[in-house]
Amino acid sequence: MKIKETITVDYLVIGSGIAGLYMSKKLADTGFKTLLATEGIVGGGASFFPLKGTLGIQTTGDNLEDKIYFQEDISNMGNKMDNPEMVKTYIEESPAVPDSLKEIGFDPWLRDDKRPACFAKYPRNIYLIKDWNGSREKAQNILNSYENLIKFEHSQLIKIFTHKGEVTGAILKKKDKFIAIKTKIIVLCTGGIAGLYKNKLYPKDIKGIGHYLALDAGAQLTNMEFIQFIPGFIEPKYNVLFGEHTAKYSTGLYDENMKKVLEGIDDSNLKKLWIERSSYAPFSFDFKSHLIDLKMMEVIEKNNRGVYIKFKKELYEDEGEFYRVYLNWLKNDLDIDMCRDNIMIAPFAHSCNGGIKIDINGKTDINGLYAIGEVASGIEGANRLGGNSVGGALVFGKRAVEHIENYLNNLTIKKYISNESIKNWIEGLYSKDGNDLYTSYEVEKKIKDILSKYGSIIREERNLNVGLEELKKLEQNFSLISNIELDGFETYYSLKMAQLLLTCMKNRKESRGSHYRKDYPYTENTPQKNYINKEIFL
C-alpha cells in the first residue's frame, strides 16, 4: 500500500446524498477549498433511492400550537431515546428546509392536504420532492459552477487521522489509488447501515463505514440498535416498498402454500390491530399491532422468504390521495395490482435511528469532525417519525456550516497528518491481518446472511452470541491486505460494523420501539441510552 498523492484542502465532505450536496455547496460558498468525495456519482445514496413516487419532509407550522404538537409527536415516538435539545432546535428551524432544498436543485411543493406523517398523531405541513434524475442533474450543475470545489467520484474514505482530539487529515481510496488529504475539517454524510442486510430498501453500498471510521477516530455512537424495518415486496417484484396504509383492507396473511396463518380486517378481534398497523410503516414494539409483524416473522423463519398478504377489492375504491398516488405508481410504473397479483412481503432494513453522537451544530466529540444526515444520531429515538430525515440533515447541516467556518477562522495552528503517522497506521494494518481464507465477495454475502438471521426484527441473546461468534471467525479468516486494492477496506469495516450492531442489540435488554428482544418482551421504566466509544468496542 503506497500513498500516490497528497492534497491539502480546507474542507473534506464525504457522501453526496442531500446532506453531502448541501454541505458541499454551502462550504464552497465560504470561498475555502472544498473536496467532495463519494462512493458513486455525485447525487447518490438513500436520498436518490426513491421508494415510491415522492419523498416527504415535515416542517413546523406557523403557530405555537403546532410547535407544541410537533414536539409531542417526536418525543412520544422517540420513547425516551430522543435528544430533547436537538428536537427543540429542529422544530424552531425546520421551516427553512424547503429553501435549503431549492439551493441544491430540488423543487419542493406543499401538499394540498395536511395529514399526519408516519407515526405522527397530528397533521402538519408536508413538503414533497421527486424527479430524482432531474434534481441530480441540477445539483451537479450547481456544484460544477464552483472553482474552489473538487469532486472525487468512485472514492472511499478509509481512515481519519487526529492529533490531541483534532482532525489532521484522512486517506481516500480513489479506485486503486491511495490519496492523503491534509485537512482540519471532515464532514461525514455517509448515510445509514441498511446496506449490510440482505433485504433492504436502501442502496447496497451504504454500510455504516462512516460510523466505524468516526468511532475509530474517537467519536461516540449511540442508539445503533434502533434500526427501522419496513415491509417490502418479495413478489411479484423484489425490493419494492409496501404501502402500509393498504393493510386496513387486508383479508389476512398466508404461508407459502397459501394457507391462512392470520385473519384479516373482517375478524372483529383483529380489526383494531390491522387499522393501527395501516397507520405506520416500520415495525415498532410500542404498538399492539406489532403482533402482526411477529406472525409474519414466524412464517419467514420457516420458509426463509416471506409471507403472502391478500386484499379486499374495496382497496381500489378508496379515493384518498395517499391510496391513489401509491396504487397508481405501482400500476403505471411496475405493473403491480395488489388484488390481482400474489403479493409476498418481508421486513426490509431501512432507516438507522441512531448514529454518531453530535451536538446541535453537527459536531462530534472530535474537533473538526462533523456528521450530518442519517449517519448522525439526531432527533430520532426508538422510532423515526416520517418526514424528518431530510429535514434534520438540512437543519443541522446549516448550523454546522456556521460552526465550521468559525472553527477554521479561529485556528491559530494547523497541524496536519505526518508521513510518520501514515506509516505507523499502515504497519498496524499488516500486524493484525487475518488469514486469507475468504474473498471480499464471500465475506459480504455471509455478513448479510448473519445479520438477516440474527439481527432482524426478532432478537435474543443466544442468537446474537452465535452471530457474533460467526462474525469474529470471518474476521479472523479474512485478509484485508490481500484484498487491499479491491474491496478490502469496505469488507473489513463492514465486518466491524456488523459486530457493533449485534453488540448494541445484545446490550439493550428490553423491547422498545424498533428494538424487540424475544427474551425481554417488555419495556423498562427507567431507560438507559447506550453509548459506544473506541475504548469499549475496538
The answer to the question of residue 513 being in a domain is no
Per-residue pLDDT reduced to its tens digit, 93-136: 999 999 999 999 999 999 887 778 889 999 999 999 989 899 99
What is the average per-residue pLDDT within 289-298? Answer: 97
What is the average per-residue pLDDT within 410-436? Answer: 92
What is the average per-residue pLDDT within 161-185? Answer: 96
In angstroms, the CA 481 to CA 432 distance is 10
**Grid coordinates in use for 154?**
468512485
What letter does residue 95 receive in the DSSP assignment? G
Bond into 95 cis (ω within 30) = no
State whether 335 and 443 are in the same domain: no
Q: Is residue 262 helix, strand or coil?
A: strand
Residues found in the chain: 538
pTM as predicted:
0.96
196 closest CA partner among 171, 224, 156, 236: 224
What letter does residue 518 receive in the DSSP assignment? T
52 pLDDT above the threshold of 70: no
The answer to the question of residue 293 being in a domain is yes
State whether 241 and 344 are in the same domain: yes
User: What's the gap between Cα 299 and its chain centre?
Assistant: 27
- The H or E element that residue 233 is part of is strand 227-235
In angstroms, the CA 85 to CA 92 distance is 11
Phi-psi region of 119 (alpha: psi -120 to 50; beta: other; left: phi over 0): left
Per-residue pLDDT reduced to its tens digit, 312-343: 999 999 988 778 888 998 999 899 999 999 99
Q: How many domains does the chain have?
A: 2
Q: Is residue 229 helix, strand or coil?
A: strand
**Grid coordinates in use for 290?**
406489532
**53-90 per-residue burial string, b: 16 or more CB within 10 A, e: under 16:** ebbbbbbbbeeeebbebbbebbbbbbbbbbbeebbebb
The owner of cell 432546535 is: 89
For residue 447, give its domain range: 427-507
The answer to the question of residue 314 being in a domain is yes
How confident is the model at residue 454, as a pLDDT?
A: 96
Q: What separation in angstroms does the CA of 308 have from each of 253, 257, 260, 303, 420?
A: 6, 9, 9, 12, 59
What is the average per-residue pLDDT within 169-177? Answer: 94
**pLDDT category of residue 53 using cuts at 50, 70 and 90:** low
Per-residue pLDDT reduced to its tens digit, 351-379: 999 999 999 999 999 999 999 999 999 99
**pLDDT category of residue 431 using cuts at 50, 70 and 90:** confident
In angstroms, the CA 511 to CA 237 distance is 32
What is the average per-residue pLDDT within 460-473? Answer: 98
User: 84-93 and 389-409 are packed helices; what angle lies between their axes, rounded to 10 degrees?
Assistant: 100
- Amino acid letter, 264: G
The answer to the question of residue 6 being in a domain is no
* CB neighbour list of residue 409: distance below 8 Å, 6 or more residues apart: none
Q: Is residue 115 within 8 Å of 123, Cβ to Cβ?
A: yes
State whether 343 and 431 are in the same domain: no
The owner of cell 404498538 is: 287
- From 348, 373, 394, give the residue that closes a domain: 348
Q: What separation in angstroms does the CA of 241 have from each of 130, 336, 351, 433?
A: 16, 12, 13, 40
The answer to the question of residue 355 being in a domain is no
What CATH number corresponds to the domain at position 316? 3.90.700
In angstroms, the CA 354 to CA 213 distance is 16
For Cα atoms 383, 389, 393, give the angle at the middle one, nearest 5 degrees.
135
**pLDDT category of residue 262 using cuts at 50, 70 and 90:** very high
- The H or E element that residue 300 is part of is helix 290-303
**Grid coordinates in use for 122?**
397530528
Q: Is residue 510 within 8 Å of 520, Cβ to Cβ?
A: yes
Q: What separation in angstroms does the CA of 72 have from each of 88, 121, 403?
A: 11, 9, 29
Pairing type for strands 250-254 and 307-311 reads antiparallel
In angstroms, the CA 13 to CA 99 distance is 21
In angstroms, the CA 46 to CA 295 distance is 29
What CATH number corresponds to the domain at position 436? 1.20.58.100
395 closest CA partner among 367, 375, 373: 373
The owner of cell 446549516 is: 398
Q: Is residue 282 within 8 Å of 75, Cβ to Cβ?
A: no
The answer to the question of residue 517 being in a domain is no
- The H or E element that residue 501 is part of is helix 488-507
State whether 340 and 442 are in the same domain: no
In angstroms, the CA 498 to CA 19 distance is 24
- Name residue 352's beta-bridge partners: 227
441 pLDDT above the threshold of 80: yes
The answer to the question of residue 221 being in a domain is no
The owner of cell 411496475 is: 334
Per-residue pLDDT reduced to its tens digit, 471-527: 999 999 999 999 998 899 999 999 999 999 999 999 999 999 999 999 999 999 998
Q: Which of 31-35, 152-156, 410-414, 447-451 has the lowest mean pLDDT?
A: 410-414
The answer to the question of residue 158 being in a domain is no
Q: What separation in angstroms does the CA of 151 have from each of 9, 132, 370?
A: 12, 20, 19
- From 285, 320, 348, give the residue that closes a domain: 348
Q: Is the dihedral of CA 67, 71, 72, 73 positive or negative?
A: positive
**Grid coordinates in use for 111?**
401538499
What is the average per-residue pLDDT within 186-212? Answer: 95
Q: Chain-wide mean pLDDT for the chain? A: 94
Provide the percentage of residues in the chain whose pLDDT is more than 90: 86
- From 289, 313, 348, give the residue that closes a domain: 348
State whether 335 and 432 are in the same domain: no
